[in-house]
Amino acid sequence: MTRRKLRENVFTILFQYDFFPSEEIDEQIKLYLDSESQKDFSEQEKLEIEVRAKSAILQIPEIDQQIEKKAEGWTIARMGKVELTIIRLALFEMLYDTEIPNPVAINEAIELAKKFGGDEAPSFVNGILAKLA
């Protein structure tokens, strides 16, 4: 599995974070990984997705604090869920994944925003991440 595919799957799981109670997240991850759309992934790839998603979820409170500090004029509650999830994932990579350089994390976040967000999502994500870098 490519890093991009891994990132997209982690994004999908993180997107669910705000829609389910925290005590249900393990079950939601399991349902996602067992879904028909994930049938082509090996058990090792599914485990890699799960571990990365859970690691990111554990850091969301700290990540959100960082976002709130730097996102002038924006609060977490005002941000679109797609954009917020992309920013959370990128910031997780920037702060906690030493294998991914910050410019790569930002570029990949912009690509996710182009794929999953609206017309303004790439520039919004880029602007917030530029302040956080």
Residues 6+ apart with CB under 8 A from 43: none
- The pLDDT of residue 54 is 96
Q: Please give the average per-residue pLDDT across 4-11, as a whole number.
A: 95
pTM for the whole structure? 0.93
Q: What b-and-e string marks burial along 101-128, b requiring 16 or more CB atoms within 10 Å of the CB?
A: eeeebbebbbbbbeebbeeebbebbbeb
Q: Please give the average per-residue pLDDT across 3-27, as a whole number.
A: 93
